[in-house]
Amino acid sequence: MTIRKKSANKARINYYVDIIIGISFVVAALSGVILFFAGSGGYQGGRNPRYAQEVLGVSRLLWKDIHNWGGIAMAGGAFLHLVLHWKWIVCMTRNLFKRPAAAKVKLAKPVPVGSCPVEG
């Protein structure tokens, strides 16, 4: 496999992971707003008249499930994103905390950001 093909595959995978993160964020955010404005939920010993309330034709319990699964998908996508970019994260962290040789003679030169390879 050539380097160009490998880089194109990484870019495609990153694109799909970012799409998953973005869509799951929108799902979790919108369902969170709907749950926020739908009022308090829960049975509360039968004293809650809005317990079985439907919002936009969907039960509150289903909105909670949609919200929870959207959050789980977003967390999984973020984890996968970290795994895909782990080498870059380690490289940048090392560069940030590395003491440059110029610091010994009181010449503070910043570490070049371009020294870490950008992946996909």
Q: Are 56 and 34 in contact (CB under 8 A)?
A: yes
Phi, psi torsion values for 55, nearest 5 degrees: -120, 120
Predicted model pTM: 0.71
Average pLDDT over residues 113-119: 67
Asked if the model's pLDDT at residue 1 lies above 70, the reply is no
Identify which has the larger pLDDT, 88 or 4.
Answer: 88
Dist CA 2 CA 27 (whole Å): 38
Asked if the model's pLDDT at residue 43 lies above 90, the reply is no
Q: Which sequence spans correspond to the domains of the chain?
A: 3-84
Structure tokens at 110: 């910043």
Query: How would residue 96 be classed by pLDDT, with cut points 50, 70 and 90?
Result: confident
Q: Are 67 and 25 in contact (CB under 8 A)?
A: no
Query: How would residue 102 be classed by pLDDT, with cut points 50, 70 and 90?
Result: low
Asked if the model's pLDDT at residue 42 lies above 70, the reply is no
Dist CA 32 CA 18 (whole Å): 21
Q: Are 41 and 32 in contact (CB under 8 A)?
A: no
